[in-house]
A and B are shown apart, each in its own frame.
Chain A
Amino acid sequence: MKNATVILTMLVAIALFAYAGERSPVTSSMQAAAAAKEGKAGGSAKQEPTKNSAQNNRGAELFETHCGRCHKPPDDLSPRIAPAVLSHMRTRAMLSREDEEELLKFLKP
């Protein structure tokens, strides 16, 4: 019973931790990925059609094609760790070097 109480406390703590965080329903990268899945141009309605957004669209498309079949994008990705993440995904999702570069731009714009 004591264990059960500890576990329930952990559950509540994790939920509170999550709610204490950001309030937006989805992050920008998730919006971009969702837009790519729907075939829309642009990651979000407010996004300007700049060169960066075009790169993001390509990256978002690739994310949905190769990574999004199993999981959602991370909330944010530090440029320090992005190469390691892509190295991990390269083996699993059979990414080409070009795909990796586009995904890198999308995940750490």
Chain B
Amino acid sequence: MQSPPTTISRVLVDGANRVEAPGATHGEAWSALGAVLAATLLIRRSRGAHAAIVAFAALASLPGLSAWAARADGPRRAGSSAASVDRLSSAIETFAREHGCANVVRSSCVACAPVVRFALARSARCAAPAPIVLEADAIEAGCAERSGTLVCGTPP
């Protein structure tokens, strides 16, 4: 099991599919216990059934909630993560606008694909698009224009 996705690149690619709390993949015991608890309390219409169910749900959610809080899109770090993505997106959009249009000619950054789509959503098409190169750390490292090419990230 991996640790919570604390880097923006990992969150960007896979963050919406799972929370990735360490050691929480074997939760069948909690699920089974929750099912028995809820079924028993609700069928018997026990007093305080819902308080017990909510308390159990809160207890079971603790690993996930703490993993979520540590993620790059969690409450504490979402602002800086969003700023990194926005910096890349803004650089690409500005570069495309200044050159008429732009196109990625080489990319080692898997997580950058949707950012490029988002940045170039309103960009015009043209016959000779200005080149963009995306290195693996493009989101974290930022971009610079070098001889007519926008290079994002640290070249190898």
Q: Determine if chain A interacts with chain B.
A: no
